[in-house]
A and B are shown apart, each in its own frame.
Chain A
Amino acid sequence: MISIDFDPEVLSYTDLLDIFWSAHRCDQINSSRQYMNGVFYHDEAQKKTAEKSRAEAASKQGVEVARVQTSILPVAKFTYAEDYHQKYYLTRFSEVRDVLTKTYPDGKSLADSTVAARLNAYLGSGMKKDWSLFVKEIPEFGLPKELEGALSKAASGMIKEGE
């Protein structure tokens, strides 16, 4: 289960639902509750939006609504996963991870950090098209100068590679 805090002025709930539905087959049977596909709504507005998006996703995927296996349920208690699950892609970048875990020693803070989320997304997914954007963003993160320099250098290398 993943919980995403988003700025509705930048991204809508519908945008996130679109990504969610496109990331799986809605007629795929959930093998267990732990790995179930589901939308867990926080209020009535989210519930209505999710139900509308389910019908649209089913139609796009050529699935009858009655055969959709993806659940839409009210959110229950959300418990943060163990520290080693947080910002998983950063485990491959020990220098970055070390600075972040020193700054935010508990998993909850690390999970809440926008800087950690952005670094995890950039470094983890590749995002080849956006390295120049990453270079622009690095100074905003407020990382130690040495790490900032190393990241800028690595990202500039990626830009050159892509040219």
Chain B
Amino acid sequence: MKFRLIIGGVIAGLALMAGIAPGEKLPKADGKVSAMTLPLDAKTAKVKFQTATFGLG
């Protein structure tokens, strides 16, 4: 029981350190532009964009 709680605490701690709030659901990329309200966004949403993904430490 105590062991489980410690593991739970460690996992919760790691999640907090990673900036993940409990229960928070983050959206996945779906390739759709969801910003259309501002005129420039509505215009650029029609552009055939390509995607580049990088990691920088």
Q: Which residues of A contact B (CB under 8 A)?
A: 1-8, 13, 16-17, 20, 23-24, 28, 30-31, 34-42, 46, 71, 75, 77-82, 85, 103-104, 106-110, 112-116, 118, 140-143
Main secondary structure of the interface of B (DSSP, over half): loop
Are B54's CB and A2's CB within 8 A?
yes
- CB-CB < 8 A to A40: which residues of B? 53-55
Are B40's CB and A114's CB within 8 A?
yes
Greatest chain B CB density within 10 A among A1, A35, A109, A141 is at A109
Q: Kindly list 18 other residue pairs between chains A and B, CB separation below 8 angstroms, not including A80-B29, A85-B19, A103-B38.
A: A2-B55, A7-B49, A16-B54, A28-B57, A30-B57, A40-B55, A41-B53, A42-B53, A77-B29, A79-B27, A80-B28, A106-B27, A114-B44, A140-B39, A141-B39, A141-B40, A142-B39, A143-B38
Main secondary structure of the interface of A (DSSP, over half): mixed
- CB-CB < 8 A to A75: which residues of B? 53
Q: Which residues of B contact A (CB under 8 A)?
A: 18-21, 24, 26-29, 33-35, 37-41, 44, 47-57
- CB-CB < 8 A to A141: which residues of B? 38-40
Are B33's CB and A16's CB within 8 A?
no
Are A5's CB and B40's CB within 8 A?
no
Are A37's CB and B41's CB within 8 A?
no
Report the bound CA distance from A60 to B33 in whole Å: 37
8 Å CB contact of A36 from B21, B49, B51, B55: B55
